[in-house]
Each structure stands twice: as C-alpha cells, then as structure tokens.
Amino acid sequence: MLLLDRHGRKDDSFAQLENGKKIAGKAPLVPLAALEAQLAAQGGAPLGVLVENNVRTAELEPYFGKLALIAIRFPSATDGRGFSLARQLRERGFIGVLRASGPLFSDQFPQALACGFDEVEIPDANAARQPVEQWLAARDRITLAYQHENGLGESILELRRARTLEKNLTGAKNV
C-alpha cells in the first residue's frame, strides 16, 4: 500500500488490529462495528475508523471528537460516493484526518483533496503504475475552480471579486 498526502508519500501511523491486537507503535484502525469496544479499550489514545462508502454521516457524528482518523473505502475508482461522504463529514464538523482508501488513480487526487480528504491509500499495483510523482503532478494540473470547496485556494468567484475590486481601486486612483 502507498499512503500519500498533498506533499507526497507518508508513513502510516495507523494499522488495523492483528488477531484483535494493536500493532506496536501504530494507532489502531478499526471497522465501525468494533468502534465502541475499541474506544472503551483505548482511553484517550488516537484511534481511527475504517468505513464503507455507504455509511451515514449521522452514524459517525457522535464520534467526531474521539476519532483521529476516518478512512473511507473506495470499492472502485468510479464509485464516487466517498467524495460526497467526505464533503458531508467536513461540513458536519469532522476536523480529524480523512483518508480515501482504495484503487483511486492519480487524476482523482485533486478531487479527493477538494472534497476534504487529507490522504489517499492505494494498492501497490496502482502505485507501481502511478508513482508518487504522478500524483503530485496530477494535483497541480488544474489550478482554478468554480467551486468554493476546491482544495486549491480562492474560487474563481473570489478571484473575480478581487479583480473587480482591484480595477475599481486603480480606476479611483486615476481619477
């Protein structure tokens, strides 16, 4: 598996349990069904949950303050439910790390970032075809967006407003 964020490859500080046991040095990543039990066992230590893309935001909302990471599984690259789910989690107030986990490809990286994902975890076979450099190149190919939530910065609307303001100011100076 390759884990990367907008800056490049990163080490995974989370790991799924093995035979019900935590991996040393890693925060546990558990399925939703095991979340309550793990929370009880964890105390306040960092914890992540791995969810399918059909989970309801309402099911996760009660845990927002207790989760360091939510990983959303993408069963295939073309199943885009995870993008809306991520957006919804962000809008409802989740501020921890959001991870997209599955066979996404590099051209989807900017979309994932725009929807609120911090990182993407892809299978090795995909990483072999599309190494980190391709992901970073894909991240920067489109530098503008009409939408507010764009992972880039100011939207085109904001840029237009700024430009109008600038024109008005220059106009005023010239008077």
Partner 1 sequence: MYRYDEFDERLVRERVAQFASQVERRVAGALTEEEFRPLRLKNGLYLQLHAYMLRIAVPYGTLHARQLRQLAHIADVYDRGYGHFTTRQNLQFNWPKLKDVPAILGLLADVEMHCIQSSGNCIRNVTADHFSGVAHDELEDPRPVAELLRQWSSLHPEFEWLGRKFKIAVTGAAQDRAVLKSHDVGVRILRDPTTQQVGYQILVGGGLGRTPMVGRILREFLPREKLLSYLEAVLRVYNLEGRRDNKYKARIKILVHEIGIDAIRAKVEAEFAAIDSGRTDVDAQEFARIAAFFAPPAYESLPDVSRKLEQAQASDEELAHFVEHNLFRHKQRGYTALTISLKPVGQAPGDATSHQMRVIADLAEKYSFDEARVSHAQNIVLPHVRLDDVPEIFAVLRAEGLGTPNVGLLTDILACPGLDYCALATARSIPVAQALAEHFADPAKQKEIGDFSIKISGCINACGHHHVGNIGILGLEKKGAESYQITIGGDPGENYALGELLGPGLPAELVPEAVDRVVAVYLARREPGESFIEAYRRLGLAPFKAAFKEIADAVA
* Contacts with partner 1, residue ranges (CB under 8 A): 54, 77-81, 83-85, 87-88, 91-92, 105-108, 110-111, 114-115, 129-130, 134, 137, 141-151, 156-157, 159-161
Torsion sign over Cα 88, 102, 121, 105: negative
> Which of residues 34 and 136 has its CB atom nearest to partner 1 in the complex?
136
Min dist CB 121 to partner 1, Å, is 17
How many whole angstroms separate alpha carbon 164 and alpha carbon 95? 34
Min dist CB 112 to partner 1, Å, is 8
Min dist CB 74 to partner 1, Å, is 9
How many whole angstroms separate alpha carbon 68 and alpha carbon 75? 23
Min dist CB 157 to partner 1, Å, is 6
> Which of residues 14 and 117 has its CB atom nearest to partner 1 in the complex?
117
With CA atoms as reference, report the closest residue to 89 among 72, 110, 107, 102.
72
> Which of residues 64 and 105 has its CB atom nearest to partner 1 in the complex?
105
Q: Are 155 and 32 in contact (CB under 8 A)?
A: no
How many whole angstroms separate alpha carbon 100 and alpha carbon 48? 13
Min dist CB 5 to partner 1, Å, is 17
> Which of residues 24 and 58 has its CB atom nearest to partner 1 in the complex?
58
> Which of residues 70 and 85 has its CB atom nearest to partner 1 in the complex?
85
> Which of residues 47 and 115 has its CB atom nearest to partner 1 in the complex?
115
Min dist CB 14 to partner 1, Å, is 25
Amino acid letter, 96:
G
SS3 for 8-72 is EECCCCEEECECCECCCCCEEEEEHHHHHHHHHHHCCCCCEEEECCCCCHHHHHHHHHHCCEEEE
